[in-house]
Chains A and B, each alone.
Chain A
Amino acid sequence: KAGVTQTPRYLIKTRGQQVTLSCSPISGHRSVSWYQQTPGQGLQFLFEYFSETQRNKGNFPGRFSGRQFSNSRSEMNVSTLELGDSALYLCASSFRGGGANEQFFGPGTRLTVL
């Protein structure tokens, strides 16, 4: 079974631009979560989607948004990029989400904002 894939793996943008990151979950998984990882703040939860619906959202500004498609693939978008958005963005998939279901992480997308 293929693992969680994320594209692109690396991205360089400049301040003010917008970016879209993609995550393909493990086949059969319907829950996709997104996390931001930075040296200073560690791992922080962005949002979680299940069957195309956002079920939970972390404490991030509205510039961060996401969506999920009918095939469970998910995208997250960051508009008006700031230097502080430079981070490793991880997505994780699970069968139904929640603590009872193991989350499988992708390799991440390294975003650098110049």
Chain B
Amino acid sequence: AQTVTQSQPEMSVQEAETVTLSCTYDTSESDYYLFWYKQPPSRQMILVIRQEAYKQQNATENRFSVNFQKAAKSFSLKISDSQLGDAAMYFCAYSSGGSNYKLTFGKGTLLTVNP
């Protein structure tokens, strides 16, 4: 079974600075997808960024980028120029590329942004 581990329960960053959230995963599959989801205090989960395992190029979405190290099974999220609105719980998630239609989530990292 696949597992996702987020080793940082809490992180904090100063506004306008950069922060990196860590995620490692365990799988024997070769076809899979990795995600970072954001869950603000209002509770609506929002997709931040997605990475296909077969793509070597790291995904980027504006101020959000990932460092995908396939061999090390590591998938970290970098948030640049942090904003107050980035404060949220961040979940790393895994999905198989086959017929296993589910997301496996890590425990989450609570990010605080200090003004």
Contacts and interface: CB of A to CB of B under 8 A. Distances in A.
Interface stretch (A65-73, A77-85, A105-113): A105-113
How many residues of A sit at the interface, in one of the four size bands?
20 to 34
Interface stretch (A11-19, A20-28, A50-58): A50-58
A31 interface: yes
B96 interface: yes
Nearest to B34: A99
Contacts, number: 61
A107 B43 contact: yes
B78 interface: no
B96 A99 contact: yes
A114 interface: no
A107 B103 contact: no
B102 A43 contact: no
Contact of B45 (A56, A58, A105): A105
Contacts of A48: 101-102
Interface string A89-114: 01010000111101111111000000
B33 interface: yes
Contacts of A98: 95-99, 101
Interface of B: 32-33, 37, 42-47, 50, 52, 91, 95-108
8 contacts: A42-B106, A45-B102, A98-B98, A98-B101, A99-B96, A99-B97, A104-B47, A105-B46
Given A33-B101, A42-B106, A56-B102, 19 more contacts: A35-B105, A42-B105, A42-B107, A43-B105, A45-B102, A48-B101, A55-B99, A55-B101, A56-B100, A92-B45, A98-B97, A98-B101, A99-B95, A99-B96, A100-B97, A103-B47, A104-B47, A106-B44, A107-B43
